[in-house]
Structure 1
Amino acid sequence: MWSSSSVSLAAGRGSGSVRLISPTACTVATHVDSAIEYLMVKKDFQAALDTCERGLESLSSSGEQEDSWCLKHGELKTALTIVGIQALAELNQWRGVLTSVLQQFGEIEKIPAKIIQMCILLYVKVDERAVMKNAVCDWLHCSGNMSQSGFSTVAELYIRHILVPMGQTSEALEFLDCDVGRVAFTEEQRQAAQCLVDLQNEKNASLSNPNPEFVVVATTASVSQQDKLRQWLNSIMRLLHRGLSVASVRIRPFCRRRVFLALLLLYLLLVRVDPALPSAFPWLFRLHGLLKQTWNTMFGPYYRANARN
């Protein structure tokens, strides 16, 4: 899932910038290479996870105390943990990632910045931001972590991917104004984060209180559409009236009364009654039957007369 991190890590480790000075370091480095190969080349994620666990066990059992080894120990431990996180994610065992990391480092404040960043991205990916919220907050407020190179990135991820999406805008503003926020962000970064929080506040306000102007515009558009519909119906009625007037000479008085009654019902149904109401359905069926009977009475003889001619 985060194979790019493993590539950069492997590249940095293979560049020769740090010398491996002990047999234990060489053995653990071999585990790192094997785990990366299983993860990225062979796609055997379980084998990659098992290799990382063996490498971490070798590190924990090592008794070397030299300063140079302590530095290399931290680098190898971070490398194995990063590959192990990726393997767990690929195996869909992400729920145990934070617990596994805490087992390796003991306390949340002692976790390296790179691993904290990966944990944030993982739990954000699966939409479980609440799992990391308190942990990241504790990590950021640890004074010993402020000197790490990735401290600012962790703070940015905390604001952008945890607090703001969770709607914790007030807490985000407090973080920006506290001492930790001033250390983590430059002035430009603080302004960008402030704009992000303001946008989220506006979004929350629009969801809780709809814009009255929008409601008025929507109501006006609905009324305008109804007026247009009524004008169209009135035009149809006038056109129908003209047609019936022309044919009235051929209509008997009894049929004329039926036509008048049909027009009256049509007007009441379409203009005075909302056709969308369920109560209007029986009227529609009755009107359809009445109009069909009226049509047959009025124009049936005319068509039969033309057929005889």
Structure 2
Amino acid sequence: MRSSSSTSLAQARSLGSVRLGSSPLLFQGSAQALSLLDMAVEHLMVLRDFKGGLESCEKGLDSLSSLPEHEDTTSSFRCGEVKAALCIIGIQALAELNEWRRVLAWVLQYYGTPEKIPAKIMQMCILLYTKVDEPGMILEAGGDWLRTSVNQSLPGYGAVAELYLLHILVPLGWLHEAQVLAGSYTTFTEEQRQVALEIIERKKNASSPQSLSQGQGIQQRMHIRPFSQRLTAIMRLLQRCLLMVRKGIHFLPYQKVLLAGILLYILLVRVDPAIPSAFPWISDLFQMFRQMWEAMFAPYYRVSVAC
């Protein structure tokens, strides 16, 4: 929205150099609106005071609304230009204040119905709601504007229809309505129509069941890939833990353990044969170890098998 601020400034300066209307009351009200327009541009561009710029726009629009009806075509056109310039600056101020949700309602306060909104303001609204990814908020108003016969003769009708088709109807999936609008011979040139129909066809193919199944397959692969990555990481961590345990086992004092076992065997079994009778559980444990040793390491003909 900031990129169009310089254009609005140029419009305001050019309007400020023209006297609006011949009636003293009309001239006074128009001069006040032009002064407020210049003030709003200064707040927006120079001071970066967006709230002050919005207030100046609202005061200027209120002053134009209080003017009496006039039949002078030139005066009506120039007042309409000043009103549109004030609305453009106000839209930019609302966007800078992050109050874009109330842009359409704010514009309708001064134009009444969507059909009366100027083409350039309707273009700004479509682009704004497209930029914030809320095309549905301008869907109904844009459709009403395009269906109005008076607007179909305006120079900016084709630009509004193109933006509405590409940025509102197609993203929202209103493909039949987009195809009907693209087929209008009074709206688009032949080249624009072909481009619009190609975009609609690609959108249809993208939303077909085959494309959806392919998309689901891609999503499933995307879900499986993180699981396999996590499993690989866990296996690597387990491998590292086993390597650490293996290295730790190598440092155990095997010789000392074996020597302690031999000494214990000599003290309890070989030194005093009476000890096994005094401690039956030691004799039983010794017999069990002996049977295990013979079963595991003795020749096959010495192994006793219990039936």
How high is the TM-score relative to the length of structure 1?
Answer: 0.65
Q: Look up the match of 1:262.
A: none
CA displacement, residues 43-77 of structure 1 (integer Å, 9 cap, x when unaligned): 11111111111111111111252413322221111
Q: 1: CA distance between counterparts of 2:8 and 2:180? A: 35
* Equivalent residues in 2 for 1:94-173, closer than 5 Å: 94-173=100-179
Which runs of no fewer than 5 residues in structure 2 stay unpaired? 22-26, 222-230, 252-307
Greater gyration radius? 2
Extract structure 1 runs of 4+ deviating beyond 6 A: 283-293
Greater shift in the superposed pair: 3-12 or 151-160:
3-12
Please state whether the residue corresponding to 2:172 is helix, strand or coil. coil
Q: Look up the match of 2:267.
A: none
CA displacement, residues 267-300 of structure 1 (integer Å, 9 cap, x when unaligned): xxxxxxxx96x9x99x97999799989x99xxxx
Q: 2: CA distance between counterparts of 1:73 and 1:204? A: 47
Please state whether the residue corresponding to 1:43 is helix, strand or coil. coil
CA displacement, residues 133-168 of structure 1 (integer Å, 9 cap, x when unaligned): 111011001000011111111001111111122232
| 1:187 corresponds to 2:187 | no
Residue 169 to residue 12, structure 1, CA distance change in 2 (3 Å): farther
Q: 1: CA distance between counterparts of 2:53 and 2:241? A: 76
Q: 1: CA distance between counterparts of 2:185 and 2:90? A: 33
Say what the alpha-carbon RMSD is for the aligned residues: 3.6
Q: Which amino acid aligns with 1:56?
A: L
Residue 29 to residue 288, structure 1, CA distance change in 2 (3 Å): closer
Q: Look up the match of 1:209.
A: 213
Q: Which amino acid aligns with 2:41?
A: I
Which runs of no fewer than 5 residues in structure 1 stay unpaired? 219-274, 297-309
How high is the TM-score relative to the length of structure 2?
Answer: 0.66
Q: 2: CA distance between counterparts of 1:284 and 1:32? A: 74
Residue 288 to residue 109, structure 1, CA distance change in 2 (3 Å): same
Q: 1: CA distance between counterparts of 2:240 and 2:130? A: 57
Q: Which amino acid aligns with 2:9?
A: V
Q: 1: CA distance between counterparts of 2:20 and 2:107? A: 25
The 8 Å contact of residues 25 and 72 in structure 1, kept in 2 or not, is answered as no
Give 2:30's match in structure 1, choosing from 25, 29, 32. Answer: 25
Q: 2: CA distance between counterparts of 1:127 and 1:150? A: 24
| 1:90 corresponds to 2:96 | yes
Please state whether the residue corresponding to 1:65 is helix, strand or coil. coil
Q: Which amino acid aligns with 1:9?
A: Q
Please state whether the residue corresponding to 1:165 is helix, strand or coil. helix
Q: 1: CA distance between counterparts of 2:197 and 2:104? A: 29
Q: Look up the match of 1:72.
A: 78
Q: Look up the match of 1:229.
A: none
% identity of equivalent residues: 45
